[in-house]
Amino acid sequence: MGCGHSTTAQLQKQTVFKSKKEAAECVYRIPALLYEKESKTLLAFAEQRKTSKDESVEKLVMRTGKIKQICCQRTIEWSELKEVEKALTDGHRPMNPCPVYDEANKKLFLFFICVKDGITERYQKETCDNRTRLCYITSEDLGETWSDVTDLTDELVKKKNWSTFAVGPGHGIQTESGRLIIPVYAYTPCKPCAISLYSDDHGIKWKFGERFNTVSVECEMAEFSKGHIYCNARNEGGYRVEAVSDDNGHIFTIPQPGNMLVETGSGCQGSVVSFPAQQESANTESDPSQNLENWLLFTHPTSPKDRIDLGVYLNKSPHDPKAWSEPYIINEGPSGYSDLAYIDDGWFACLFECGQHKIHEQIASVVFHYEAICSCKCCFVCKNL
């Protein structure tokens, strides 16, 4: 990758969800993060489990946060933890929180899956016996109160030849056209593939796009110009799957592989967001403010073997899979799933799993500015202009 090195950040890490020392009591995993611009509120979600195992999930929990600026640093003031009580279906465990916000109707959607108690993902894949349900709840006061569960399984999933499926995990997006998109992946008897779930009427009706034509699992999406959607997905082949849609997220194609983003071991979830191209300096040859495309930011463990050293990657040319910068390490040591949120003026928040010895010791947050990773000495594109 690029010049073959990374930079380590010195950031203020804040604990958001802290697992108890006795792992059998309480473990937090699977972070999801959303920033609501008007109220300037961050919403953080996670699974609360009895152990680190998927089948031990008990409930979904959340905290809200406000950005505080002290001198040149930004931190987050987090509220008390509370249970998302409505995210529950009898006899099932809620998993994979995936929030999306409809700016037109000021409505928050929290998508998640509900899996039959005692049933593992492995059992479903091996037997082709889908015991997973597609659900969401909504809130018009940023999570203070929630609607009852809406279950889309019978309407959208029942006729699919899926062994099992899941949303996200991580955030969904609203495109410039107003379309709400939830990233999904489904296991078929042939192979697992990513797919979009979207609504063009503010969440009244939902439909699936076309499945990807390559192996792809947990994924996130971002709009880099009007109607053009980028997707980054977990893979099994040593590198991340990157796909692009030119029809607002219905059909995705795989561009010429860039092989710039290394996958970790058997794979790990990663996060991607888009943000406005930034004006950097008067000496810049091209003016980013004249570029109609957004830039992309991506987070993922940087090791090709283990879930360690969470890195942030920058791409100023989203159509080019070889345009990713070298990683900027925002957490050294054990690092797992993560979720990014763009705040404003080049600032971002990241919610991620980490620990001293294991990734499920806590879910923490950091705030940083893109300039920390936007350095020509680390950028493959700049070195080749």
Residues annotated as part of the active site? 54, 337, 353
DSSP three-state, residue 195: strand
**Cα 141 to Cα 143: distance, rounded to the nearest angstrom:** 6
**Which residues are bridge partners to 210 per DSSP?**
none
| CA 201 centroid distance within chain | 23
DSSP three-state, residue 378: helix
Structure tokens at 88: 């529950």
**Cα 135 to Cα 167: distance, rounded to the nearest angstrom:** 10
66 backbone dihedrals φ, ψ, rounded to 5° = -120, 135
**Cα 115 to Cα 130: distance, rounded to the nearest angstrom:** 9
Closest CA relative to residue 301, chosen from 349, 355, 347: 355
- With b meaning 16 or more CB within 10 Å and e meaning fewer, what string describes 350-365? bbbbbbeebbbbbbbb
**Cα 136 to Cα 113: distance, rounded to the nearest angstrom:** 8
**Cα 210 to Cα 193: distance, rounded to the nearest angstrom:** 10
First to last CA, the chain: 16
Sign of CA dihedral 103, 367, 302, 284: positive
DSSP symbol at 154: I
3-state DSSP percent of the chain in helix, strand and coil, to 5: 10, 45, 45
Q: Is there a contact between 371 and 346 (Cβ–Cβ < 8 Å)?
A: yes
Q: Is there a contact between 73 and 66 (Cβ–Cβ < 8 Å)?
A: no
DSSP three-state, residue 12: coil
